[in-house]
Each structure stands twice: as structure tokens, then as C-alpha cells.
Amino acid sequence: MTKTRAVPGLLKRLNEREVLETIRAGAPISRAEISRRAGISKPTVSLALQSLLQSGLVREAERGPDGPGYGAVYFEPVPEAALVLGLDLGARFVRGAICDLLGQVRARQDVELGVADAAGAVEAISRLRSTLLETAGLDAELVDGVVVGVPGVVEPETGVLRLAENVADLEGRKFADELQDALGLPVTLENDINLAALGEQWQGVARGVDDFVFLSVGTGMGAGVVLGGELHRGRHGAAGEIDFALAGLGLEVDPSAPQVEALAEGLADARAVFEAARGGDDTARTVVEEVARRIALHIAAVAAVADVSLVVLGGGIGTNGDLLLRPVGRLLDEWLPYPPRVEVSTLGEAAVLTGALAVGLAAARDNVFTRRPARQAEVPSAAE
């Protein structure tokens, strides 16, 4: 049997990665504590720190975890080692934000789309990128990549957008390529509801939940499915296109806004229906009960197959938790042997944008390590 020897360069990088992740998890943190948590000897930690300091990925912290260190040296990651640009493209707006490697948002802005088509979206995104960087006062060269939430299915093999009806001319385009040419940056496209699910997983009500669905009910309906802690996209990238879940029944079971307004027959819009129901209007209450039934039908279809523990409701309709959670939960209890818990999104309109930042942040944290420059600047020895 041929034996393979460990490559010193590989071991060095593995140790440096472990030290960096330990600092990210426990900063501000001392060299001795890094050694203890990472299970790496102090001399090896010192060598790794030296390299990370030279690369500008970590720095000495001004204070320890409990205040001044009184001679002890503590370390923390450098937040501005890279930036992430997250975007949420809607039918009438683009929401954007820039965050650093700690996940802290450094600038946030929404802009209306002057022209709601693909060309107008590219132009608006280009302007928004410049405005966000100017507001944050940060160098454009620090942006590691761009993640954009789009209303449609992104085919995994071709990058072509399908079922993209909310923004004119998006259907059938390789929109990521167009944005990449305009911005001069790597661009990742993802379905907006998928990103909303990841946003809730990162900073919302789904934190710590491995199996859940984000169900958005607004002007349309869609779902983001997370199984085993990972986003499930499916073979064609179309997992979560829940509009088709009950196709062929020959019944109207869509709970989104246009159908709510059709059911109301006379009340101004979906928002007015829910407000009227809160005011005790019998017709509006009947409509809301039907909306709850339709939402429960779609949840039951997913829950029966995937056995998720949580469903997060979002969108303009779905966030009416005070009127929907109880009837939806009651129906699921009647229909299913193991009904999921149903909660309303805690991120609201920021869910998609938060998910975009989460995806970009995960990539940037890896990229700053693998692509780090070999800086020659003199730094104090971490072993001192």
C-alpha cells in the first residue's frame, strides 16, 4: 500500500484556517485561548497568527472580552477585509445593502425602478452599488461579490431565468452575465423566496431549525425549502414553485392577493380585506377564513412530503399572523399526524435582502482566505 505524506504547505493552510475560524467565533480572543479551543499548539498558533496578521485578515484587538487586557494580547477579525453587496430585485424597486465580514450592514438603501424591465434593473443596480459604497465610505475594490434575489427560477446548468414574470424581459435571459458585465464583479443569482428562507435561517425565526419552509403569500406565491440545514433547489432549480402543488384539482385554491380581492367582491384591495376583518366585518372574516384554508392546503402538501418542523409565513398576505396563524394551525392539526409549527417572518420585507447577504458572506469569508494577498508589511510577532 502506498503511503501519502502530509504536505507541509497544506497543513499550514489548514492550521491558519482553523485559527481564523476560531477567532471569528470567539473574538476578542487570546493566543492561549485559540490554542485551547482549536486544539493546536501555541507555537503553531503563533505562526498562523503571523500569516493572518500579514494578510490583513485579523488584527490585535483594543480590548479583551472583559475590558482592558493588562498586557495580554487579544485578536479579532478585520471586518473590512472584504465586503458583500446584496440586492433584492422586485417589480417596482431594488433593495440593496453592503455588509462587512462580521455581517454588519454598512449601508442600506431602496430605490424605485424607473423602468421595470431588465435594462432598467441593470441601470438601477449599477447606480445603487455606487451610492451604497459612497454612503459606507468604503473602497469599491473591497467588494468580493454580488448576490441578487430575483423573481424566477434560475436554471442551475445554464443560468437562464425562467418563470420570471414580475420584471419585463427577464424571462429567458442570462441576467447574471449582464450584471457581471455592468458591475465588473462576480454575480450570483438566486430565487428571491429561496433567499428569504436563508435570511430567516440566518437572522430570523428559523435560526437553529434544520427542516423548514418559507412560504411567501403576496401578489403571488412561492416557497423556499430548507432540508437538513441546506437550501433545497431541486433538479431544475424549481423546488418551492408551490403554485403547481395542487394543479389539476380543478379548484381555485390560490391564497394570493388577486384571488383575495376577487373573493371580497367590493372591498378595495387585499390589505383592506384584512383591515375590515380586524374591524369585525363578516364578509371580510369569511374571506380571511378561506385564505387561511388555502394556505393550510399548500402547507399540508409540503409537510406531508418533507415532514418539516416549521413553516414561516411571509409576503403581504402571509404576514397577517394575527388573523391567519390560529385557523391555519387548527386545520393542520386536523389534517396531519405531525403538523409543523407555523410562524410569521420576523424579517418582513428585509428577508430576501438578508438572505442575499448571508449567501454572499459565506462565500466572501472563504474567498478572503483562499485569495489573500501575500503582504510584506512588518507586523509585531504574534508569539511575543
What pLDDT digit, counting tens, does each position of 93-102 carry? Answer: 999 999 999 9
> Is 291 in the same domain as 360?
no
**Range in 141-155, 190-204, 239-253, 353-367 the model is least confident about:** 239-253
Q: Which of 20, 52, 77 represents a domain boundary (last residue)?
A: 77
Question: What is the pLDDT, as a whole number, of residue 265?
Answer: 80
Distance CA 381, CA 300 (A): 60
Which residues, at least 6 apart from 126, have a Cβ–Cβ distance to it below 8 Å?
182, 183
Q: What value does the mean pLDDT take over residues 208-221?
A: 96
pLDDT in tens, 35-81: 999 999 999 999 999 999 999 999 999 888 876 656 789 999 999 99
> Based on the domain organization, do 323 and 235 belong to the same domain?
yes
Stretch 21-43: mean pLDDT, rounded? 96
- Range of 330's domain? 205-346
The count of other CB atoms within 10 Å of the CB of residue 165 is 12
Domain count, the chain: 3
Q: Indicate if 174 and 216 belong to the same structural domain.
A: no
Of the chain, the percentage scoring pLDDT greater than 90 comes to 80
pLDDT of 318 over the 90 cut: yes
Instruction: Specify the pTM.
Output: 0.91
Which of 24, 43, 77 is at the close of a domain?
Answer: 77
360 plus 312 within the same structural domain:
no
Tell me, yes or no, whether 375 lies in a domain. no
| Residue 156 within a domain | yes
CA angle 237, 240, 245 (to 5 degrees): 120
- For 38, residues 6+ apart whose C-beta sits below 8 A from its C-beta are 18, 19, 22, 45
* Domain contains 302: yes
Sequence-distant (≥ 6) Cβ neighbours of residue 159 within 8 angstroms: 174, 176, 177, 189
Residue 87 has pLDDT above 90, yes or no: yes
Which of 59, 77, 95 is the endpoint of a domain?
A: 77
Residue at 384 is within a domain: no
Query: Could you give the CA distance from residue 220 to residue 153 in angstroms, rounded to a whole number?
Result: 14
Which of 23 and 116 is assigned the larger pLDDT?
A: 23
On whether both 160 and 182 belong to a single domain, the answer is yes
> 3-state SS of the chain?
CCCCCCCHHHHHHHHHHHHHHHHHHHCCEEHHHHHHHHCCCHHHHHHHHHHHHHCCCEEECCCECCECCCCCCEEEECHHHCEEEEEEECCCEEEEEEEECCCCEEEEEEEECCCCEHHHHHHHHHHHHHHHHHHHCCCHHHEEEEEEEECCEECCCCCCEECCCCCECCCCCCHHHHHHHHHCCCEEEEEHHHHHHHHHHHHCCCCCCCCEEEEEECCCEEEEEEECCEEECCCCCCCCCHHHCCCCCCCCCCCCHHHHHHHHCCCCCHHHHHHHHHCCCHHHHHHHHHHHHHHHHHHHHHHHHHCCCEEEEEHHHHCCHHHHHHHHHHHHHHHCCCCCEEEECCCHHHHHHHHHHHHHHHHHHHHHHHCCCCCCCCCCCCCC
Residues 174 and 246 grouped into a single domain: no
Question: Are residue 121 and residue 209 in the same domain, yes or no?
Answer: no
**Same domain flag for 338 and 363:** no
Burial of 243 (0-12, 13-18, 19+ CB in 10 A): middle
Helix 8-26 / helix 42-54 crossing angle, nearest 10 deg: 80
Query: What mean pLDDT value characterizes the chain?
Result: 91
CATH number at residue 230: 3.30.420.40
Instruction: State the pLDDT at residue 358.
Output: 98
What CATH number corresponds to the domain at position 72? Answer: 1.10.10.10
> How large a percentage of the chain has pLDDT more than 70?
93
Q: Is residue 382 in some structural domain?
A: no
Evaluate whether residue 147 is within a structural domain: yes
Same domain, yes or no: 164 and 277: no
Q: Is residue 219 part of a domain?
A: yes
Same domain, 211 and 141: no
Let me know whether 38 and 109 are in one domain: no
Measured CA to CA, the distance from residue 255 to residue 300 in angstroms comes to: 14
Q: Check whether residue 18 and residue 135 sit in a common domain.
A: no
pLDDT at site 263? 87
195 burial level (CB within 10 Å; 0-12, 13-18, 19+): buried
At 7, is the pLDDT very low, low, confident or very high (cuts 50, 70, 90)? low
Any domain includes 71:
yes
Distance CA 281, CA 118 (A): 42
